[in-house]
Amino acid sequence: MIDTYFIPLVKILFVLNATLIAVTYMVLLERKVIAWVQVRLGPMRVGPYGILQPIADAVKLILKEDITPARADKWVFTAAPILVMVPALITFAVIPFGPSVHLFGRDIPLYITDVNVGLLYIVSVASIGVYGIILGGWASNSKFPLLASLRASAQLISYEVAVTMTLVSLIMTAGSLSMVKIVESQFNAGLWFIFVQPVAFVLFFIGGLAETNRAPFDMAEAEQELTGGFHTEYSGMRFALFFLAEYANMIVVSAVATTLFLGGWLAPFPNVAWLNVLELIPSWMWFLMKTFAFLYVFLWVRATLPRYRYDQLMRLGWKVLIPIAIANVVVTGIVKVLF
Amino acid sequence: MTEEPKEPTAAGDKPASEAAAPAAPAAPTPAAPAAATPAAPKAAAPAAAAKPPAAPHDNKPAPPSGPTDPPPPAGAQIPACITALQAAVPGAVEHVSFYIGDWTMIVPATKLLEAGRFLREAPAAAFDFCSDVTASDWPSRAQRFDVIYCLYSTRLRHRVRLKVRAAEAEPVPSVSGIWPAANWLEREVYDLFGVNITGHPNLTRILMPDDWQGHPQRKDYPLEGPGELLMENPLDWLKLKQAREEAEIE
Amino acid sequence: MATEARQMFDTEELVINMGPQHPSTHGVLRVVLRLDGEKVVSSDVIIGYLHRGIEKLSENRNWTQIILLTDRMDYVAAATNNVGYCQTVEKLMQIEVPRRARYVRTALCELQRIASHCLWLGTHAMDIGAMTVFLYAFRERELILDLFEEYCGARLTYNSMRIGGLPLDIPVGWDKKVLEFCSIMAEKVDEYEELLTHNRIWLERTKGIGVITAEQAIAIGLSGPPLRGSGVTKDARKDEPYAAYDEMKFDVPIGTAGDTYDRYLVRLEEFRQSIRIIRQAIEGLPEGPIVGKVPRLIKPPAGETYHAIESPKGEIGYFIVSDGKSTNPYRFRVRPPSFCNLQALPQLIKGHMLADVVALIGSLDVVLGEVDR
């Protein structure tokens, strides 16, 4: 009873809270990191070094006037941000933060659940997020958001193909769709998969940037073009949900990349005995550090690179990434058969 | 049209001495360029100082009746582009003027297009770059507007100015067919001066709002704007505008 | 509801209005675009939102007061506007400007050119998405504005020239600071190049965008870096030297392809050439008076003239008519480079995508204060 209901509930609450706090603090982290790259300081006023800025932002957004455009479709207008946020959050159900730990006389695995089609679950749930964007643009009942949402959804769908192809080659390498088993196979192989599948890693990273609408693929939300993209008409808490969903997606992509390519909760060189001193750092700490490294690279890329034009972005997805991904699958297959 | 060159001899001594006074402080300052040129403004200044008979209490000088267009000093060589134009298009050059290193030709409006085309195509001239098209308002003159075309040659690196005199509604052909750069410049001349430019592809107001009345850069247009013509209170103006629009709908 | 849905997906031309308030139109510029999908079919540029009547105001101000008005036209490059005006009046009055003043004027004009190009680079890069370059370019622009503040007390609208020379001699130690700045700037230009010039995304966004041939550019009246990017060697500093440019050694960068990338490269090289000119001007600064022999009351003799100099945006020309008697000019006309460059915009953006419109407005480097006066 406790095992089937109570412990998963505690884990869910814990992960959900941790994720939401992480997402709000991602906002601050982005502003700070980009500011430091740009020779500025970022938010400094609210709290020491601006630490309480996200709380100020949250309070502001909650207290804002709730404006719905006059001819907008009310139910869809409200549902759209939810449809973007929820898939990002429920992905965390299958992400493994660590192996089993021994607590209170029980073996508690550091993941909410281990579905044996975990990777497939993640990819499918992420696709539902696209609906939220399309509906958001549609429900606003205005020219610019509609155009922008169509562009954003086309971009997301195209890059999903590339990312999924990449994941196929990874599944072939790992031999399983379950997230926990992928990490364990990295342990068995003694190598993080980034060394085994470098091409897949690069493709996944670029695809991840495009999937989360981050620079250099953020044409859909670039202010200079269509004044705010698909969330032009949103304000207050609904806008906050869109905004936070983008960061939640970023964290999901980073977490998935960590699990698949950087060995999840494993320390570097997990099989080498004399480096076991690295095991002093708990496994979930390793996981968080690697995820954080990924997030930092996301922010770094945003501060540095110019933005792709929409047609160049689509061309990159279809004509460059997908062929390379397919080629990667073929090569992986050949290597697997021969060795 | 041909008044200016003849006036210095006909105006007499009085205007000359009056005009010489303001010119004197400027003349002694060291002048690097041609020594012949200081003579030219003094000789031509009387044209600007022509005074209509003034009432006894009115001691403000009369407004100038036109620009000085001093002829080139004796012995100065007229550049090849001007002589070529004079030869190729007869009647195009009414008057040649030279002032501090710049050559200006006064061209009648009827010959403007021919002259322009020649200047752009002739190898001696090759004026392919239209630097500026602007205008001056001399209200006391019959042909009140002076439309000025500043031309430059990117190949031969020389400049010349064309001047066309036009009365209030006299048509001036558009040179935007010859130099597309003149398109917006002529729109501005029309907008701010009201010169009647014909043959322009899109002669609409460019700097002032589309429904503005009047031409602000004219000398008889007040600096502060239309004043009482614009209501004291902006709300009244809006009401008037709405009433006008409703009347149009009906 | 169904008919509304069908209407929203109709494939006819979409009319989009950019501005006058828009994050990337560099001022109050309004562009009405007719789009077929994403491609621009035709466009209409509407200006006049910043028209302040400077030309008419000048007819009511005396010759020295107009220097203040000229600052406010191209407010990004105020010193060059001042120099152009003062030189036109000096031409009318036949005043000789002493050599020291000419050298300082050259140095100030070139500092102004660097400052204006810094602003251009920052905003152009930001429009294309590289936000960081904006902050870096403005960091350097701050250094220049500090130099100007030390010289004349103002950061943006300098009023730093007088007819016949300059109002003030340079402060003690200013020339050393300028030379230090030159060394700093030389490194920073390399930094900008590293960030952008060979960046694959930058190349894709700027190569082949907004191509204009040399003949088209000359015909439409482009001047300055847009004209030189198309391969035409026209630079008033070399063709009709003014101030101390005839004594300076420098090159004028000329592009070949006439696209946005070449205009970018031309301006980037102009940074380096300006640094070179400043070094020569400051190191070779002669002693002497800072202002020439100018009468107390400035009244040029009756006559008119046109004088053009090379501002960072292009050829800025002043056409001034003096009637010889009053203390105000009879007619004051500025030939604004941004106005004439902006004319080319409809031609440049035809056939390009919406995202390129913003890149092209940035590439032409327009300042609306100058366009509308």
> pLDDT band at B31, cuts 50/70/90?
very low
Which residues share a beta bridge with C34? Answer: C15, C42
Q: Among partner residues C8, C130, C204, which is closest to A312 by beta-carbon distance?
A: C204
Contact B100 C92 (CB under 8 A): yes
A34: in domain: no
| CATH at C168 | 1.10.645.10
By the CB < 8 Å criterion, does C1 face chain A? no
Q: Among partner residues C317, C321, C339, which is closest to B184 by beta-carbon distance?
A: C339
Q: Which residue has the tokens 């509304």?
A: C4
What pTM value is reported for the model? 0.84
A149: in domain: yes
Contact A223 C38 (CB under 8 A): no
Chain C interface disruption, residue of A225, A227, A320, most C CBs within 10 A: A225
Chain B hits for C239, Cβ within 8 Å: 157
By the CB < 8 Å criterion, does B183 face chain C? yes
Contact C201 A305 (CB under 8 A): yes
Torsion of CA C57, C60, C64, C68, to 10 degrees: -20
Question: What pLDDT was estimated at residue A225?
Answer: 55
- Choose among B2, B4, B103: nearest CA to B49: B4
For residue C33, pLDDT over 70 is answered with: yes
* Chain B neighbors (3+ CB pairs < 8 Å): C
The tokens for A31 are 């502003």
> pLDDT tens digits, residue range B156-188?
888 999 999 998 888 999 999 999 999 999 999
Mean pLDDT of B133-158: 89
> pLDDT tens digits, residue range A240-295?
888 888 899 999 999 999 988 988 888 777 666 666 666 777 788 888 999 999 99
Nearest-neighbour CA in chain C from A38: distance (Å): 5
Contact B26 C232 (CB under 8 A): no
Q: Among partner residues A143, A304, A306, which is closest to C128 by beta-carbon distance?
A: A306
By the CB < 8 Å criterion, does C203 face chain A? no
Q: Which residues in chain B (70-99) have CB-CB distances under 8 A to chain C?
A: 70, 99
> pLDDT band at C309, cuts 50/70/90?
very high
Question: What pLDDT was estimated at residue B192?
Answer: 92
Mean pLDDT of C169-193: 92
* Residues comprising chain B, all counted: 250
Which residues share a beta bridge with C22? Answer: none
By the CB < 8 Å criterion, does B157 face chain C? yes
Q: Is the ipTM of this complex over 0.90?
A: no
Nearest CA in chain A to C354: A225
C2: in domain: no
The tokens for C317 are 């020309």
> pLDDT band at B7, cuts 50/70/90?
very low
Mean of the per-residue pLDDT values of chain C: 89
A-C interface: how many C-beta pairs under 8 angstroms?
Answer: 70
Instruction: Specify the number of domains making up chain C.
Output: 1
B-C interface: how many C-beta pairs under 8 angstroms?
Answer: 162
The tokens for B156 are 């031969």
The tokens for B170 are 């006299």
Question: What pLDDT was estimated at residue A71?
Answer: 77
Q: What is the C-alpha separation between A306 and C358, in angstroms, rounded?
A: 14
Chain C hits for A30, Cβ within 8 Å: none
Other C-beta atoms within 10 Å of A70: how many?
A: 6
Contact C132 A307 (CB under 8 A): no
Q: At A130, which helix (H) or strand (E)?
A: helix A118-139
Where is average pLDDT lowest: B8-12, B60-64, C66-70?
B8-12
A47: in domain: no
Nearest CA in chain A to C39: A311
DSSP secondary structure letters along A139-174? HTTSHHHHHHHHHHHHHHHHHHHHHHHHHHHHHHHH
For residue B21, pLDDT over 50 is answered with: no
Contact A310 C38 (CB under 8 A): yes
Q: What is the C-alpha separation between C192 and C120, in angstroms, rounded?
A: 13
A177: in domain: yes
**B42 vs A47: which has the higher pLDDT:** A47
Q: What is the C-alpha separation between C194 and B247, in angstroms, rounded?
A: 63
A299: in domain: yes
Q: Among partner residues C239, C297, C303, which is closest to B99 by beta-carbon distance?
A: C303
Is it true that the peptide bond before B63 is cis, omega within 30 degrees of 0? Answer: no
Instruction: Specify the number of domains making up chain A.
Output: 1
Chain B hits for C299, Cβ within 8 Å: 22, 25-26
- Choose among B99, A38, A1: nearest CA to C135: A38
> pLDDT band at B56, cuts 50/70/90?
very low
Cβ proximity of B202 and B227 under 8 Å: no
Nearest-neighbour CA in chain A from C354: distance (Å): 7
C7: in domain: no
Contact A222 C199 (CB under 8 A): no
A213: in domain: yes
By the CB < 8 Å criterion, does B154 face chain C? yes
Nearest-neighbour CA in chain C from B248: distance (Å): 25
* Residues comprising chain A, all counted: 339
Q: Which residues in chain A (200-219) have CB-CB distances under 8 A to chain C?
A: 215-216, 218-219
> pLDDT tens digits, residue range C100-137?
999 999 999 999 999 999 999 999 998 888 889 999 99
Question: What pLDDT was estimated at residue B234?
Answer: 64
By the CB < 8 Å criterion, does B128 face chain C? yes
Contact C23 A223 (CB under 8 A): yes
Contact C205 A34 (CB under 8 A): no
Helices and strands of chain B, counted as H and E runs: 7, 7
Q: What is the C-alpha separation between A173 and A180, in angstroms, rounded?
A: 14
Q: Among partner residues C129, C139, C358, which is closest to A306 by beta-carbon distance?
A: C129
From the first residue on, what is the mean pLDDT of each consecutive set of 10 residues in chain A (339 residues)? 79 90 90 91 87 89 81 82 90 86 78 86 89 84 78 88 91 88 86 87 92 81 60 78 88 91 80 68 85 92 88 90 93 90
DSSP H helices, chain C, are: 2-8, 54-58, 66-71, 78-93, 99-128, 131-152, 174-196, 200-206, 214-220, 225-229, 236-239, 260-283, 337-342, 345-349, 354-364, 368-372
- Choose among C279, C274, C248, C264: nearest CA to C77: C274
Q: Could you give phi then psi for residue C334, rounded to 5 degrees?
A: -110, 135
By the CB < 8 Å criterion, does B181 face chain C? yes
Which residues share a beta bridge with B145? Answer: B137, B166
Nearest-neighbour CA in chain C from B28: distance (Å): 10
Range of the domain at C122: 13-372
In sign, the C-alpha dihedral spanning B24, C168, C290, C143 is: negative
- Amino acid making up residue C16: I
Chain C hits for A38, Cβ within 8 Å: 131-132, 134-136
Question: What pLDDT was estimated at residue B23?
Answer: 37
A179: in domain: yes
A24: in domain: no
By the CB < 8 Å criterion, does C38 face chain A? yes
By the CB < 8 Å criterion, does B218 face chain C? no
Contact C321 B67 (CB under 8 A): yes
Question: What pLDDT was estimated at residue B152?
Answer: 92
Chain A hits for C132, Cβ within 8 Å: 34, 37-38, 303-304
Nearest-neighbour CA in chain B from C144: distance (Å): 31
* Chain C neighbors (3+ CB pairs < 8 Å): A, B
Range of the domain at A245: 64-338
Nearest-neighbour CA in chain C from B250: distance (Å): 28
